[in-house]
Amino acid sequence: MHPRRRGAAFLLLGCIHAALLCLGARHAGAESLSLAEILASYEKAKKELQSLQTSFTQTKILTVFEEKEDAQGILLYKKPDRVIWQFTAPGQSKTVINDKDAWAVFPGIKQIQRLRMDKSDTRRILSVIGFDGGGVALSGLFDISLLDTQEPFIALRLVPVDEKISPFFSEIELFLAPGDFLPRKIVMHETSKDLLIFDFHDLKKNVNLQDSLFEFSVPDGFEVVTY
């Protein structure tokens, strides 16, 4: 597996690892909301969010090499700390987070990378992708300001102040749908100057996701590397 593809699949762990969203026209009322009101609405939306299932497209822009890589996948989330981040094309890999364990699975090289985490680590990861730690909690991890945008979203600029996030990202642009105040697009500015862009679509909220979906056992023939 190409090292850059492998790194993309392991994105969810990057911010804590030493080496780791209603589309439509912008509502007139949303344009007049203050930052505090937007963050309060964002916090309320995420408190009401118990689970979600969404497809995503990822665009990785490698600035130095002037290259672009595209990928697609599926994200499953169940509150408080269960996540499956699965790439389905062009290659297959996934990251599973379940309580205090995170597993990054790379079938091409038959390797699994395991990372032990605590609750704050999981919150950081979910904050980076926009689905937890919102509102007031975000202010402890980022300096937050509003962005002007022509897109049909409410746009926030997040500059990391948390020492476990700032080594990896110089800023994150978070695009919220004005109808439900959940993320539909994220632009991550990596400290390497590369860009990582996620677009979420076909988002389904509060779906019935069984806990068994997030259980993980190591397949036969896979090497496990623990960090």
Domain ranges of the chain: 3-226
Relative to beta strand 67-78, strand 82-89 is antiparallel
Task: Using the structure block, give the residue that is written with the tokens 């990928």.
Answer: 71
pLDDT of residue 3: 45
Phi and psi angles of residue 212, each rounded to the nearest 5 degrees, phi first: -65, -25
pLDDT of residue 46: 86
CA distance 186 to 77: 17
Backbone conformation region of residue 38, classed left if phi is above 0, alpha if psi is from -120 to 50, else beta: alpha
- Tokens representing residue 28 in the block: 């007139």
pLDDT of residue 7: 45
Q: What is the mean pLDDT of each run of 10 residues along the chain (227 residues)?
A: 44 35 36 86 89 95 91 93 92 88 92 84 71 64 86 90 91 93 94 95 94 92 93
For 37, 137, 155, the CA distances from 151, given in Å and listed in that order, are 20, 26, 9
Name the DSSP class of 168: T
Alpha helices in the chain (DSSP H): 3-9, 28-31, 35-48, 119-128, 136-139
- Tokens representing residue 3 in the block: 């090292």
CA distance 168 to 160: 9
Of 213, 33, 12, the C-alpha closest to 131 is: 12
Q: Which residues of 94-106 are buried (b: 16+ CB within 10 A; e: fewer)?
A: bbbbbeeebbbbb
For 56, 64, 124, 221, the CA distances from 12, given in Å and listed in that order, are 14, 23, 10, 24
CA distance 199 to 185: 4
CATH code for 3-226? Answer: 2.50.20.10
pLDDT of residue 214: 93
What pTM, to 2 d.p., does this model score? 0.78
pLDDT of residue 60: 95
